[in-house]
Each structure stands twice: as C-alpha cells, then as structure tokens.
C-alpha cells in the first residue's frame, strides 16, 4: 500500500483532543455471564489525525468503535461505563436525541459490510438524502443535488443515474463508496472506518484508502481506521493501537511500532504478515493457541498463555498500559517482559 501523503493536522498548542476515551468498558450479557468486549480502554485522537486500531477478529475493535460512536449504550443486553468525549460532548450523557444529532455532523461511521449497512429496498438517493434533510435542513431538491455531488466526490461515475439504483445493482466497491458518501454527507469531524476494505480486491482496497486520505485532507477530519489487516494500516495511520482481548496492549506512532514492536503480541502479528522477500512456499508464522474466554478471562496478562516470553509473574499480575518514557504519548505498552528493541549495528 502507498504511504499516506500528508502529515496530520495537529490542534493548536494547548487545544484539547477531538476524541477522548477514558476507561471505557462494554460488557455484553450472556447466559454464562458478562462478556468483557471492551475492558478499560483509554485513548485520544487529535483533529486531522488517523489512528489505526488493529488486532485479531474478536479482540474488541468493532465493539470499541460502535461504543465510541454511541451505538452501544447501557440497556437490557449490555452495560457501558467510562467516558467518551467528541469535541467536548459526552456521547453517553447526550441521550438518544442528542446522539442522533451528533451522528452525521459530529461523527460518521463506515460500517464493515456495505450490503448490511444499506437497506436493500431503498434506492441510493434515499440513503443519502434522508441524512442531508434531517441534519442539514436541505430541501428535497437541494438534498438530491448534494447527494449527486457526494457520489461524484467519492468517485462514482454517472452519479445522477446511480441515485435511482438499488444497492444490489452496484458493485462491491461502489457500495462501499456509497457508504463512505453517507458517512461524509454532513462533513463530520470524526470518521470511524470499520474494516472499510473487507471483501474488496487489492486494487479497489487501494482506491478506497486513497479516497479516505484525500477526503481527510479536504475536510480536515480525524479518522479511526479499524482493521485486522496490518498492511491496510501501514502507511495510512499516524498512530496505531493494538488490541487484544478487549484491551489496548500497545500504542505508538505507526513508523515506530512497525519498525520495533515492544509487546510480544504486536511482534507476533507482524511476524504473521506475508513478505515478498521470503523464499517461495515458506510457511507463515502463526500465533499458537486461541484468545481467552472473555466471560472469564485469565487472571494475569491475557496474552500470557500464547506468549513465548511469558514468565511466572505474567500469569498472576495484569500488566498496565504505561508510557515507555517521560512524555510517552509516542509509545506505551502493557507488558512485564517486553520485546527488546533492536539496536542498530548490534546483535
């Protein structure tokens, strides 16, 4: 994948981050007990910045994204605690009406599967104009003109004709572009992109990611890019948060993390990525074992049963996500025995 062509826009000195997540927990009620899908996550995101959120399937990435947006709240099926501030607004204190106003203008979301994100019995034009009329207060004619402009913006040919088509009449790449257009309709300050390139071929993946980068430049929005594919995040994110079993285990600048991971799980993820320089028919490295049962997770480090560096204390004492050094926003990891950094010229 090509490198991200711009530097992130940072807020002026002393400005608050656009997104603040504090000790966020999402527990889903099951017959066996509460499943801790997100378990004490804290992070920040600046205006114009891209944060990559990576990890295996089931690590809690999508649940975190939906909880941040306010789609998951405390109710009969789950319990949500902690705070999420988007541009100073407490998402979970807004109530249903307040969150509906926030969605679109404040935060938009690109969902994982465009076929399930789009209503099969509604035309593309209806998907786009509903949000524009509700949040933007546009007339029917103005909303349709804006919808056509949005389809043109995301690179869909013949936008006027596409407005009259149903989702099944479009290709997978076009459906994903429609979902992106819907998310950007009211120019949100934050875009949560949950696996935006799933099930797309490599060429279309690059087109979608290039599109998101270009629109980010034009609109100045922040992006949370959720993916299990490290190659999608590489070169696209300013910082990367690695999730395992509901927790962030490493958080660092993208260049730093990919060059020298400190958490054993991050190292294992990177080692499992196919590389062109390897001999033909080389076996890919796999991570032994399976993620823990999140209804009754292990007592110490949740990765310890699968970790080749684990010692006795790893199985007893939960590690805390802590900065590597003073001013440690550049890197933090949760590990008692981290991977040793490689010293240039050393062994």
Model-level pTM?
0.88
Contact by Cβ (8 Å): 301, 264: no
pLDDT tier at 334, thresholds 50, 70, 90: very high
Q: What is the DSSP secondary-structure string of 53-106?
A: EE-STTSSHHHHHHHHHTSS-SSSSEEEEEEEEETTEEGGGSHHHHHHHHHHHT
pLDDT tier at 329, thresholds 50, 70, 90: low
pLDDT tier at 97, thresholds 50, 70, 90: confident
Average pLDDT over residues 101-112: 85
Average pLDDT over residues 248-258: 95
Q: How many whole angstroms separate alpha carbon 142 and alpha carbon 191?
A: 24
Average pLDDT over residues 202-228: 88
Strand 222-227 with 50-54, pairing: parallel
Percentage of the chain exceeding pLDDT 70: 93
pLDDT tier at 328, thresholds 50, 70, 90: very low
pLDDT tier at 346, thresholds 50, 70, 90: very low
33: left (phi over 0), alpha (psi -120 to 50) or beta: left
Q: How many CB atoms lie within 10 A of CB 330?
A: 14
Q: What is the DSSP secondary-structure string of 119-134?
A: -TTS-HHHHHHHHHHH
Average pLDDT over residues 249-264: 94
Catalogue all structural domains in the chain, each as residue range(s) with its CATH number.
Answer: 19-237 (3.40.50.300), 247-274+285-333 (no CATH)
pLDDT over 60 (residue 6): no
Average pLDDT over residues 4-17: 53
pLDDT over 90 (residue 278): no
Average pLDDT over residues 312-326: 89
- Kindly report the average pLDDT of the chain as a whole number: 88
- Residue of higher predicted confidence among 105 and 190: 190
Average pLDDT over residues 278-304: 88
pLDDT in the model for residue 1: 39
pLDDT in the model for residue 10: 45
pLDDT tier at 100, thresholds 50, 70, 90: confident
Average pLDDT over residues 11-19: 70
Strand order in the sheet with 331-333: 107-110, 190-194, 222-227, 50-54, 239-244, 247-253, 331-333, 322-323
pLDDT over 50 (residue 298): yes
């Amino acid at each position: 994948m090509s490198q991200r062509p711009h530097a992130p826009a940072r807020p002026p000195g002393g400005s608050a981050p656009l997104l603040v997540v504090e000790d966020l927990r999402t527990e889903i009620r099951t017959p066996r007990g509460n499943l801790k899908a997100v378990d004490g996550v804290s992070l920040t995101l600046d205006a114009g910045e891209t944060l990559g959120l990576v990890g295996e399937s089931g690590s809690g990435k999508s649940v975190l994204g939906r909880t941040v947006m306010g789609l998951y709240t405390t109710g009969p099926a789950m319990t949500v605690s902690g705070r999420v501030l988007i541009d100073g607004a407490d998402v979970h204190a807004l109530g249903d009406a307040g969150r509906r106003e926030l969605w679109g203008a404040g935060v938009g979301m690109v969902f994982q599967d465009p076929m399930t994100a789009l209503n099969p019995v509604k035309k593309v034009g209806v998907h786009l104009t509903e949000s524009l009329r509700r949040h933007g207060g546009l007339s029917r004619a103005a909303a349709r003109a804006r919808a056509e402009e949005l389809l043109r913006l995301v690179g869909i040919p013949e936008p006027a004709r596409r407005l009259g088509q149903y989702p099944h009449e479009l290709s997978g790449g076009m459906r994903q572009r429609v979902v992106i257009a819907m998310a950007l309709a009211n120019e949100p300050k934050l875009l949560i992109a949950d696996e935006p390139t799933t099930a797309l071929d490599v060429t279309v993946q690059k087109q979608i990611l290039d599109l998101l980068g270009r629109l980010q430049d034009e609109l100045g929005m922040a992006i949370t890019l959720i993916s299990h594919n490290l190659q999608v995040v590489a070169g696209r994110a300013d910082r990367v948060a690695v999730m395992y079993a509901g927790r962030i285990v490493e958080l660092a600048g993208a260049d730093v993390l990919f060059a020298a991971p400190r958490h054993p799980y991050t190292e294992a993820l990177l080692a499992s990525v196919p590389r062109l320089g390897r001999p033909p028919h080389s076996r890919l490295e796999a991570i032994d074992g399976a993620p823990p049962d999140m209804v009754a997770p292990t007592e110490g480090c949740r990765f310890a049963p699968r970790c080749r560096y684990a010692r006795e204390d790893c199985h007893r004492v939960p590690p805390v996500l802590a900065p590597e050094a003073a001013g440690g926003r550049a890197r933090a990891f949760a590990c008692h025995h981290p991977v040793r950094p490689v010293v240039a010229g050393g062994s």
